[in-house]
Amino acid sequence: MADRKDSVDSSKPAYTFEWMGEAAQVTGKLPQSAAAVLLQAGQSTPLTVGDDGSVAANVLSKTAATLRISLSGYYDMVLARPGDQMTGTWNIGEIKAEDLPRFRLRARLSSTWAILNRLWARIRPNALSSIVSITSI
């Protein structure tokens, strides 16, 4: 392999390797029923959340990472870190359930229904007067 040359520039070797440096790690504490997925270099890796909510995983150093934290009834939280900062330990700290925005689906549906009713009450009389004025022309 050492004698292979680059197909475009024969003065360079065909392969070059870069030492990625020390191993990087993601650590933190999540709600016990949370799920965490790490996306790095196009690979999605589910992380194990311990009984006490602790999470720790070895990751690629010098490679950008995105961590998605999911908890039922809450919007996902997404944390990201650029590759130049992915050395050593990325401690995300303690993330509690109240740090995640909660779904308000029931409240939104009922308020949307109320808005539609009020809108219909405004449109209905105007729609009848428009029909009358069109036919009278």
Q: Tell me if 29 sits within 8 A of 47, measured CB to CB.
A: no
How far is Cα 24 from Cα 67, in angstroms, rounded to an integer?
A: 14
How far is Cα 78 from Cα 37, in angstroms, rounded to an integer?
A: 10
Q: pTM value?
A: 0.61
Angle at 4 between CA 3 and CA 10, to 5 degrees: 110
Mean pLDDT of the chain: 79
Q: Look at 4-13, 17-26, 104-113 and tell me which has the smallest mean pLDDT.
A: 104-113
- What is the reported pLDDT for 131? 45
- What is the reported pLDDT for 135? 44
22 vs 123: which has the higher pLDDT = 22
Q: pLDDT digits over 11-67, tens only?
A: 877 766 655 556 789 999 999 899 999 999 899 999 999 999 999 999 988 899 999
Provide mean pLDDT across the span 64-84: 92
Tell me the percentage of the chain whose pLDDT exceeds 70. 67
> Rounded to whole angstroms, what are the CA distances from 44 to 37, 60, 66?
7, 13, 9
> Rounded to whole angstroms, what are the CA distances from 62 to 8, 15, 55, 111?
28, 20, 20, 47
Q: How confident is the model at residue 110 (pLDDT cuts 50, 70, 90)?
A: low
Provide mean pLDDT across the span 100-125: 64
